Structure 1
Amino acid sequence: MIVEVGGQSVYAYTGGRTFDPARPVIVFVHGAQHDHSVWGLQSRYFAHHGFNVLAVDLPGHMRSAGPALTSIGALADWLDALLAALKVDEAIVAGHSMGSLVALEFAARHPRRARAIALLATAFPMAVSPALLEAARERELNAIALVNAWSHSTLAAKPSSPGPGFWLRGMNQRLMERVAAKGEPQLFHTDFAACNAYADGLASAAKVACPVRLIVGKRDMMTPPRATNEIARTFKDAGVRFDTVSLDAGHALMTEQPDATLDALYDFAVNAPRIGNG
């Protein structure tokens, strides 16, 4: 589906179903140098089990027009504008890595539209080393290869995604290379710089009023589980309905553990209360 937001075209995968205003809405937000396809297995299931699905390409990524936005706050406001364009009053937002920061900031800035948020492979701060930032700017293909290796906890996840014989590392490598080829110059650096500069995580977490689920990979080298400790304490202190699900996976949760990720998301989504209904 193509939607006009601020005069720019935005692509959102709907899981093969027509958008139906009577259904609840879930938005899937990808991470750095990715697109909507990283949610392929989970988003399609939701679309065929009671939900409107909007698995978006962020601005400047693949099928969505650029330029890419340079801050997490701008991406959060863009997400609100997308929902407004579709006349969506409230939505559940699931974000992976950089997308998790977008989901968090969206819920803090636009509480009337945030029904619940699921933060996958998140961290605060989501610092990026100067060496990796420099590589993303000057040697993008090298940076892609490094991040792809660090994102997977195994060479051959079982049963694999979407089935035996699929090479997870190869699929992700090619996706990131394709995003680089189709996108504006230094897009990986733009995404990483936005993550690295985001300083509002704890303040924004304290403003969140909707239910929150953290989904972490026990073997995640990019955003290790301990990196969620401060933000989890902030949710708890704020009295937010909050829990954590740990999966036996690395950073690439959706492909290394597709069914477990889906179960953690779907259980959370179907039990998220409507806004104003407790």
Structure 2
Amino acid sequence: MMVHLPGFDAYCYSGGKAFNAAQPTIVFIHGAQNDHSVWALQSRYFAHHGFNVLAVDLPGHGRSKGAALHSVEEMAAWLLALMGAAGVERAILAGHSMGSLIALEAAFQAPRRVSHLALLGTTYPMKVSDALLDTAKNNEQAAIDMVNIFSHSSMAQKPSCPGPGFYTMGGAQRLMQRMSAINPDQLFYTDFFACNAYANGQAAAEAVACPTLFIFGSKDMMTPPRSTKLLTSAIKHGKIVQVDAGHQLMAEQPDAVLDALFGFATAPA
């Protein structure tokens, strides 16, 4: 569905379900050079099992209009404005990679509007190497190839992949290429720069009071589990789940990710 915001419209995948004010809402936030479709398998299940779903396309990504935003703080403020425009006062926020920083910052900016926080493939600081930043700026296709290789634990499909012929690495590569085609203004560099520059993560993490879930890929080379100690130490009440996957854990292990998310979202308070 399209949500009207001042200046441009924003797209949110809702799982084909109309908004029901009596139900809880979960907001899914994608990472760099991606769109809402990375959450396809998880978001549709939630939509058909008692939740309102907003799987967003960030500005400049997918079907949302406008230019890509240049900082995590701006993206978090945009997300909160989108929730308000969609009639969502309070929600579960689930973010992957760059999206996890956006979710964390949104919880810092408006803690009363976040009931639960799920951070997937996250770390802080989320530093990007100078070599990858330079490649993203000057040779986006090469950066896509690099990140696609780094983000998957193997070329072979995991048992929980949707079915025969589903090529996880190929699908991820085509999605990133499509983002370049519809927004050629150095989108990958803009996203990576925002991750690299974000400096409020520790303060935001220390302020988190709501239930929190960390989901890590045990073979993640982009945000390896060993790099996550600052966040997990700052949010001591957070639950940690590890799945057998790389950075693109929602596609590599969709069932395990869904089980962890749904169990977290439906657990008694």
Name the TM-score class by shorter chain: over 0.9
Q: Aligned residue for 2:163?
A: 163
Q: Distance in 2 between matches of 1:22 and 1:7?
A: 30
Check if 1:13 corresponds to 2:44.
no
Paired letter, 2:262:
Y
Q: Distance in 1 between matches of 2:27 and 2:266?
A: 14
Q: Is the 8 A contact 1:36 1:55 kept in 2?
A: yes
Task: Tell me the TM-score normalised to structure 2 length.
Answer: 0.98
Q: Is the 8 A contact 1:34 1:179 kept in 2?
A: yes
Q: Distance in 2 between matches of 1:192 and 1:218?
A: 22
Q: Distance in 1 between matches of 2:6 and 2:156?
A: 42
Q: 1:272 to 1:87 in 2, by over 3 A?
A: farther
- CA displacement at 1:209 relative to structure 2: 1.6
Q: Aligned residue for 1:218?
A: 218
Q: Is the 8 A contact 1:160 1:168 kept in 2?
A: no
The one-character-per-residue Cα deviations of 1:21-71 (angstroms, maximum 9, x if unpaired) are 211100000000000000000000000000000000000101001211100
Paired letter, 2:247:
H
Q: Is the 8 A contact 2:222 2:247 kept in 1?
A: yes
Q: Aligned residue for 1:267?
A: 263
Instruction: Say what the alpha-carbon RMSD is for the aligned residues.
Output: 1.0
Q: Is the 8 A contact 1:27 1:93 kept in 2?
A: yes
Give the match's secondary structure for 1:112: helix
Q: Aligned residue for 1:118?
A: 118
Q: Distance in 2 between matches of 1:163 and 1:100?
A: 28
Paired letter, 2:21:
P
- CA displacement at 1:6 relative to structure 2: 2.4
Q: Is the 8 A contact 1:103 1:117 kept in 2?
A: yes
Q: Distance in 1 between matches of 2:222 and 2:153?
A: 10
Q: Aligned residue for 1:22?
A: 22
- CA displacement at 1:272 relative to structure 2: 6.4
The one-character-per-residue Cα deviations of 1:119-163 (angstroms, maximum 9, x if unpaired) are 000011100011100100110000000000000001112225321
- CA displacement at 1:184 relative to structure 2: 4.0
Q: Distance in 1 between matches of 2:64 and 2:267?
A: 31
The one-character-per-residue Cα deviations of 1:91-131 (angstroms, maximum 9, x if unpaired) are 00100000000011111111010001100000111000111
Q: Aligned residue for 2:78?
A: 78
Q: Is the 8 A contact 2:161 2:254 kept in 1?
A: yes
Unpaired runs of at least 5, structure 2: none
Check if 1:52 corresponds to 2:52.
yes
Q: Is the 8 A contact 1:211 1:272 kept in 2?
A: no
Q: Aligned residue for 2:252?
A: 256
Q: Is the 8 A contact 1:115 1:210 kept in 2?
A: yes
Task: Tell me the TM-score normalised to structure 1 length.
Answer: 0.95
Give the match's secondary structure for 2:150: helix
- CA displacement at 1:75 relative to structure 2: 0.6
Q: Distance in 2 between matches of 1:124 and 1:165?
A: 36
- Bigger mean CA deviation after superposition, 251-260 or 2-11: 2-11
Q: Aligned residue for 1:89?
A: 89
* Alignment of structure 1 residues 166-181 onto 2, 5 Å: 166-181=166-181
- CA displacement at 1:86 relative to structure 2: 1.7
Q: Distance in 1 between matches of 2:196 and 2:51?
A: 33
Q: Aligned residue for 2:32?
A: 32
Q: Distance in 2 between matches of 1:74 and 1:161?
A: 34
Q: Is the 8 A contact 2:42 2:258 kept in 1?
A: yes
The percent identity for this pair of structures is 58
Check if 1:242 corresponds to 2:238.
yes
Q: Aligned residue for 1:276?
A: none
Unpaired runs of at least 5, structure 1: 274-278
Count of equivalent residues: 269
